[in-house]
Amino acid sequence: MATVKRYKKEDFETYCLGATVSMEYLNIRPQNVSRVFLHSAFHESETKDKIAKICEKHGIPVEVNDKVFSILSQKENCYVIAMVRKYRCELDPSASHVVLVNPSNAGNAGTIIRSAVGFGVPNIAIIRPAVDFFDPKVIRASMGALSRLNFKYYDSWKEYIENNNKEERHLYPFMLDGSKLLHEVVIEKPFSLIMGNEATGLPSAFAEVGQPVRIDHGDGIDSLNLPIATSIGLYEATKGSWSKE
Amino acid sequence: MATVKRYKKEDFETYCLGATVSMEYLNIRPQNVSRVFLHSAFHESETKDKIAKICEKHGIPVEVNDKVFSILSQKENCYVIAMVRKYRCELDPSASHVVLVNPSNAGNAGTIIRSAVGFGVPNIAIIRPAVDFFDPKVIRASMGALSRLNFKYYDSWKEYIENNNKEERHLYPFMLDGSKLLHEVVIEKPFSLIMGNEATGLPSAFAEVGQPVRIDHGDGIDSLNLPIATSIGLYEATKGSWSKE
């Protein structure tokens, strides 16, 4: 019988709440899934079969245990929980990146991860202090896309840039007073889109590190929300570079 | 002494949680603010003075009442609550719109409102069933931008389009299998960007109402999150049409 506790940052394990999110980890990183809990009210037989198959193949224990759900989940609709051993990733130093400077909100981080993976920029650098990307709220908001992401924490901007192909990299800090409009800038690869904290934005010193850009909008709002600004940057930087056809 | 209760959809009043959100309503729609509650621990004297001035001018009662905060707010950092009498808006039938078909999530609705106001498209049509735009969670996620929005509920797409300048309007349903890529379409004004439900998207029949568009992204994710897709649409449709300079 497993004992589980609500997530704390210092834990060695985290977890995926819900079938969709759990399936992403089972498909993409089965080697990191330590066990799967099912709720006794879980009756989607197709998903159940898929989970059983993957777990059997990788030797992952599966357990029906309703008590785990009452401890780990506040949502009524959560019937699958995958426990995930934390892992370390490296960024691809020659690839394009998103750099988040002091991001603080878990839901925002998850939404940004989903967009970064969706737009084919699955490398995110995080400058501390910052939200914990292994927080189950981040994983859930990412819809499991965290499993497809390379992410790495740095103590400073300097530490990041010294280790990530500084010579070749094109740097675009997003700032409310950026000197160029995003849609008028040609974003060259490999790029780093650099985004500040939700409340305070980027420190003004970032205007010196690259080409500061701003997203054109009216003055009915102070700023766009952070995942929106990040995703618009990713859209603009990658559009036309692929097609599903 | 005021008695207050947690928000219910059928109430005639709603409320703004927090100083920033409350200030938006006090600035933009003071006629709809029925009273303002302050927490005894609220000490930002500049904001306090502003609130006092607006409330005096418009005859809005102000009350220090900590109990109200323990009833209405779960957040620790909430020191101002503005009570707002609900009001009815009309859309501008000749303007560009966002049309949300069956949106279900309050946080998403708020984020979309913030973007729509920011990108100068402050007219949102909502097709029922749908989340309640007066929910305090919506107002808070909008950062108070709801105060600057015209929004109106319709029972059907037909009801919406018959009443909103059908002849002149250009319709762009956003669909995962849209026949054109967003960035290759010239979005003509007045436009309606039509967005489906978070989980199910638009019913396939919407492909017939206008030019279906899709946002180019990879297959690492099933779809972008709804406020992200809506905001990218708004960005693409409005970029270059204004500048802060």
Task: Give A36 to chain B, closest Cα distance, Å.
Answer: 22
The pLDDT tens digits for B141-199 are 999 999 999 999 999 999 999 999 999 999 999 999 999 999 999 999 999 999 999 99
Question: Is B216 close to A243, i.e. CB distance below 8 A?
Answer: yes
Question: Which residues in chain A are contacts of B140 at CB distance < 8 A?
Answer: none
Q: Which residues contact A118 (CB under 8 A, 6 or more apart)?
A: A145, B217, B218, B220, B221, B224
Locate the chain B residue with the closest alpha carbon to A148: B220
The pLDDT tens digits for B84-94 are 999 999 999 99
Question: Is B240 close to A118, i.e. CB distance below 8 A?
Answer: no
Question: Which residues in chain A are contacts of B239 at CB distance < 8 A?
Answer: 181-183, 216
In a domain, B115, yes or no: yes
The pLDDT tens digits for A63-107 are 999 999 999 998 878 999 999 999 999 999 999 999 999 999 999
How many domains, in total, are found in chain A? Answer: 2
Residue A68 is inside which H or E element, if any?
A: helix A66-72
* Shared-domain flag, residues A79 and A103: no
CB-side neighbour CA atoms (13 Å) of B77: 5
* Shared-domain flag, residues B55 and B103: no
* Shared-domain flag, residues A58 and A104: no
Number of CB pairs, chain A paired with chain B, less than 8 A apart: 111
Q: How far apart are CA A136 and CA B59, in angstroms?
A: 47
Range of the domain at B47: 13-85
In a domain, A132, yes or no: yes
Question: Is B115 close to A224, i.e. CB distance below 8 A?
Answer: yes
ipTM of the complex: 0.94
* Shared-domain flag, residues A132 and A179: yes
In a domain, A74, yes or no: yes
In a domain, A80, yes or no: yes
Question: Is A119 close to B240, i.e. CB distance below 8 A?
Answer: no
CB-side neighbour CA atoms (13 Å) of B182: 25
What is the length of chain A? 245
Instruction: CATH number of the domain at B138, please.
Output: 3.40.1280.10
Chain B residues within 8 A (CB-CB) of chain A? 107, 111, 114-115, 117-120, 122, 143, 145, 148, 181-183, 214-222, 224-225, 227-228, 231-232, 235, 238-244
* Shared-domain flag, residues B189 and B122: yes
Question: Is A239 close to B216, i.e. CB distance below 8 A?
Answer: yes
Q: Rounded to 5, what percent of chain B is helix, strand, coil?
A: 35, 20, 45
Residue B209 in contact with residue B175, Cβ under 8 Å? no
pTM of the full structure? 0.96
